[in-house]
Amino acid sequence: MTFSFHPLAKAEIQDAVEYYEQEQAGLGVEFLEEMYATIQRVLQFPTAWPQSSRHSRRCLANRFPYGIIYEIRDSEILIVAVMHHSRKPTYWADRL
């Protein structure tokens, strides 16, 4: 199974990397590594995570307050949002 990012999700992950890197050198890289580890869990077990909406699911990151919102599309996972836990819960819903 492969994955791709919605353009806004890609921007969200880049913004978060920049933020964490400004907070502490190297922390942005650690954030990015955690996000890709989370994506790997999704790829391995795509239906294991709870549904966020009718067509999406959410897998939480282990170390950072973020979740990966994704949609299963045939043999691909579409990353719809890289969501911080304190954001409005369904701000990404119009991306589906």
pLDDT tens digit sequence for 21-66: 999 999 999 999 999 999 999 999 999 999 988 999 999 999 999 9
Taking the CA atoms of residue 11, residue 13, residue 14 and residue 17 in that order, the dihedral angle to the nearest 10 degrees is 160
User: What's the predicted TM-score (pTM) here?
Assistant: 0.91
In words, the CATH class of domain 2-91 is alpha beta
pLDDT score recorded for residue 38: 98
Residue 41 near residue 51 (C-beta atoms within 8 A): no
